[in-house]
Amino acid sequence: MLLVSSSGGHWTELRRLAPAFEPFERVWCSVLPEMRSEVKPDRFELVPDASRWDRLRLLWSALRVAMVLVRVRPDVVVSTGAAPGFFAISLARFVGARTVWLDSVANAEELSLSGQKASRLATLTLTQWPELGEPLPATPAQRKSGAVYYTGSVV
């Protein structure tokens, strides 16, 4: 599994999902070198962060995320945002990975812009606020593509 986010709250939220991934082989991917020791003994891949206002850096971040996808070849990609996570979700299909976008708990009244875009690309899109999504169906066959679902939050 490849678990991707930027720093700050996005990373805190991603780390709170760790027990869900315990049975599987995990690779964490984020933007600060100090996170490597935090996830030990799991593998860690460093990528550059980027904001929407810096096009060149966005491109560089996307390229580095693509390289991580090629190196890791994950079966599943999970992200809590923001930019590097969005790139990972967007590009994961080229390595055949299924994807989950978990929109940050900070998006309490509408989905983030990346979340709205990711919902068209991700295998599963989740919000952390019941008002912003439908209840997650019990079986995958009942899920509609492009829908946003709710099944609890990180906090």
Partner 1 sequence: MIFVTVGSQLPFDRMTAAVAEWAHARGRTDLFFQTGATKLDLAGFANMPVLSGTEIRGQFDRASLVVAHVGTGTIIECLLRGKPIIVVPRSSKLHETRNDHQFATARRFQHRAGVFVAWDEKELPALLDAADALAGGEAIAAHADATLLAALRGFVTETA
Could you list the residues that contact partner 1 (CB under 8 A)?
1, 7-13, 16-21, 23-24, 32, 34-35, 38, 52, 75-76, 78, 98, 100, 102, 104-110, 112, 123-124, 126, 128-129, 136, 140, 151-155
Smallest gap, in angstroms, from Cβ of residue 23 to partner 1? 7
Enter the tokens of residue 123. 């295998």
Smallest gap, in angstroms, from Cβ of residue 56 to partner 1? 19
Q: Please give the C-alpha separations between residue 8 and each of 30, 42, 48, 80, 145, in angstroms, as whole numbers.
A: 10, 20, 14, 11, 30
Smallest gap, in angstroms, from Cβ of residue 108 to partner 1? 4
By beta-carbon proximity to partner 1, the closer residue of 110 and 145 is 110
Which one, of 72, 76, 70, lies nearest residue 124 by Cα? 76
Smallest gap, in angstroms, from Cβ of residue 93 to partner 1? 11
